[in-house]
Amino acid sequence: MDIHIIPCLKDNYAYIVENKETKNACVVDPSESEPVVNFLKKNKLNLKYILNTHHHADHINGNLELKKKFNSQILGFKKDKNRIPGIDIFLNDKQIWNFEGSDVLIEHVPGHTSGHIFYYFKNEESVFTGDTLFSFGCGRLFEGSYLQMVNSLKKIRSLPPKTKIFCGHEYTINNLKFCMEIDKNNYQLKEKYNQISSNIKNKLPSVPSYISEEIKMNIFLKFDDLEFKKRIGLEDLNDVDFFKRIRDLKDNF
């Protein structure tokens, strides 16, 4: 199975997962239809499914046109059935859905929105995190609590270290700048910043990142890392209060 990155709008990413043998495909979070249609036509793919991580417009606006054009089925979290246009298949937390013989784990990860989910393709060792976890960052909290977001990030963090992370936006440069501002002596962050800067200059995406490097460098995942908390003078804060402090700092960065 191949995963194709489809830039959309200003900084969104949709993703097409292709079975190379059958030419069947699914798309994750189509914020607009045109770039998805263009890729599908160019590569002669049959769009079977549309997968939504959450209900925000910049992740679902391509749903209905793609469904009409390709007779695709739309998937989303059951509790968001009234907020995802055209939804056909209602997903549950911890459900295993199958695409072309590949098992896909659905996990409920509230925080950014109350109905946010991720899709973990086990055979492909890839997770589509929407706006819950970004490369070296995380999403703002619009509907969930800080405790919910911490628990959601724990779920993603617990995936195998070599899991590839395909997130919803190209925010990586700004996220790395913020991480370097907080974790000033982390040479791995500086190396990663230089690498990603080069990619962006050459009009290449920064995604995917890996669970292993997110654990090492993403300060939003360090809420229970006592050594790190001591290093930046926040060792007195519990996990949730630490996350809230970091999230508030990022919101005003």
Catalytic residues: 54, 56, 58-59, 112, 131, 169
CB atoms near residue 93 (< 10 Å): 13
Tell the residue number behind the tokens 């919101």, with chain if given.
Answer: 251
* 3-class DSSP assignment, residue 210: strand
Token duo for residue 99: 């695409």
Give the separation between CA 249 and CA 253, rounded to whole angstroms.
6
Give the separation between CA 179 and CA 205, rounded to whole angstroms.
19
Cis peptide before 208 (omega within 30 of 0): yes
Which helix (H) or strand (E) segment holds residue 73: the answer is strand 73-77
Residue type at 142 in one-letter notation: F
Token duo for residue 71: 């007779």
* 3-class DSSP assignment, residue 65: helix
Cα Rg of the chain (Å, integer) = 18
**Residue 238: C-alpha distances to residues 16, 223, 243 (Å):** 39, 8, 9
